[in-house]
């Protein structure tokens, strides 16, 4: 069975924990969380974590913006098919537009409900433990 790898980058440990617990309860077992964006990028570069199928990415981080991280991830050939979902307290159309042009396929505004996370997963990745999308 295919188990998608999910990466969460948010400077709030509470948000990381909430998303992780929501995903685990929904059946997604491979969830990696980082409250430091540089540590997350280093873990990817050093192959300490697998290439994720989906990244939940906060926009307002300490050292880099989520927009910058999304652009960096899109430059990596191995991450061309990774889906990026921005998570932010910024609600404006310009913020959503900037997310889209930086490579995000989804945008969830804070505060969010756990169901918003699950809905994003189902619509963008599909339910957990399905057959591998590469098996077709």
User: What's the structural domain count of the chain?
Assistant: 1
Owning domain of residue 32: 5-135
Q: Is the peptide bond before 111 cis (omega within 30 degrees of 0)?
A: yes
Find, among 2, 53, 57, 67, the residue nearest to 33 by Cα. Answer: 57
- Looking at every residue in the chain, the average pLDDT score rounds to 92
What are the pLDDT digits (tens) for 55-108?
Answer: 999 999 999 999 999 999 999 999 999 999 999 988 888 988 999 999 999 999
Q: Name the percent of the chain in helix, strand, coil, to the closest 5.
A: 45, 20, 40
CATH number for 23: 3.40.50.2300
Decide if pLDDT at 134 tops 60: no
What are the pLDDT digits (tens) for 28-58?
Answer: 999 999 999 999 999 999 999 999 999 999 9
Please tell me the predicted confidence (pLDDT) of residue 89: 87
Task: Tell me the whole-structure pTM to 2 decimals.
Answer: 0.91
Q: Per DSSP, what are the bridge partners of residue 109?
A: 88
């Amino acid at each position: 069975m295919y188990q998608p790898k999910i990466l969460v980058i948010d400077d709030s440990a509470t948000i990381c924990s909430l998303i992780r617990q929501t995903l685990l309860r929904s059946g997604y077992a491979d969830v990696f969380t980082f409250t430091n964006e540089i540590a997350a990028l280093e873990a990817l570069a050093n192959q300490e974590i697998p290439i994720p199928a989906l990244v939940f990415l906060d926009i307002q981080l300490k050292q880099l913006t989520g927009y910058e991280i999304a652009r960096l991830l899109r430059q990596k050939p191995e991450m061309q098919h990774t889906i990026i979902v921005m998570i932010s307290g910024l609600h404006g159309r310009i913020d959503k537009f900037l997310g889209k042009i930086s490579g995000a396929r989804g945008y969830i505004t804070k505060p969010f409900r756990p169901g918003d996370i699950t809905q994003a997963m189902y619509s963008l990745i599909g339910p957990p433990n399905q057959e591998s999308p590469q098996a077709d």
